[in-house]
Amino acid sequence: MEVTDAIRNRKSTRAFLDKPVPDDVVTDILECARWAPSGVNSQPWHVAVLTGETKQQVAEALAKLRADGEKTRQDYEYFPSQIEEPYIARRQACGHALYSALGIKRNDIETRKAQWMKNYHGFGAPVMLLFFIDAILEKGSWVDMGMFIQNVMLAARGLGLETCPQAALAEYPDVVRNLLNIPDSKKLICGMALGHADYDDFTYQYRTEREPVEHFTQWYR
């Protein structure tokens, strides 16, 4: 697959087939991703690969916390406390596209909740990746992590797999660290579902829009 095709056609996949991903394939993906750039070659990435019973245990713990109404306590704030345009409209359009594809009405709160809860199980993917970073590192290393995570998604596509990067999997990091015996010095950035996409699922039948280049680019000559 051409790199440009992998980038242009990537989607956040929210439905996966019940088909295992061999350990060596996951290793191949991470082997490719590790060549991401990082400031002074710091290579700040730490990855937890969850499958089988461990994945199920973590998924059930996160889902229960959410269902019980536990307040989220991320290691960092992903979204601003006060959001403004154009981000409000883009966020609303994103949600509308998903729920419209599923045929879920705006006032169908319970069905919307049920769909959201699928986040914690990685939408049925057999592999869940969790990305950690040392707490001593600063924002520059978080930028490096973004490039590494993008590499993971592109490498997965090159091997015929799909992914969904998920901030939801980082909502209760203390619980995740405790279950996996990971020290508090490792901050949880996000998770990612990884597996074989169910291309026939309704969630795969839409695509969120992107702004044209001229809307976010200024040329200086």
- Summarize pLDDT for 66-110 with one digit per residue, the tens: 999 999 999 999 998 899 999 999 999 998 888 888 888 888 888
Q: How far, in Å, CA of 157 to CA of 129, rounded? A: 15
At 147 the pLDDT is 98
Which domains are assigned to the chain?
3-76+120-210 (3.40.109.10)
List Cα–Cα distances, 216 to 7, 85, 136, 208, 220, in angstroms. 18, 14, 33, 17, 13
The average confidence (pLDDT) of the chain is 95
| Statement: residue 202 has pLDDT above 90 | no
Q: How far, in Å, CA of 16 to CA of 198, rounded? A: 5
Q: Which residue has the tokens 């229960």?
A: 64
Nearest to 50 by CA among 161, 165, 192: 192
| Statement: residue 196 has pLDDT above 90 | yes
Lowest mean pLDDT among 34-48, 70-84, 136-150: 70-84
DSSP 7: H
At 64 the pLDDT is 96
At 207 the pLDDT is 87
| Statement: residue 163 has pLDDT above 90 | yes
3-state secondary structure of 127: strand
At 13 the pLDDT is 93
What lies within 8 Å, CB to CB, of 196 at 6+ separation is 16, 17, 19, 21, 160, 161, 162
Q: How far, in Å, CA of 192 to CA of 13, rounded? A: 10
Q: How far, in Å, CA of 28 to CA of 23, rounded? A: 9
Q: How far, in Å, CA of 181 to CA of 88, rounded? A: 38
Q: How far, in Å, CA of 122 to CA of 58, rounded? A: 11
* 86 upstream amide cis, omega within 30 of 0: yes
**Alpha helices, DSSP H, located in 80-200:** 87-102, 109-117, 139-158, 173-180
pTM of the model: 0.94
| Statement: residue 139 has pLDDT above 90 | yes
| Statement: residue 134 has pLDDT above 90 | yes
Residue 208: CB atoms within 10 A of its CB come to 12
| Statement: residue 153 has pLDDT above 90 | yes
At 112 the pLDDT is 87
Residues in the chain: 221
Average pLDDT over residues 152-165: 97
Edge-to-edge order in the sheet of strand 46-50 = 46-50, 127-134, 186-195, 162-166
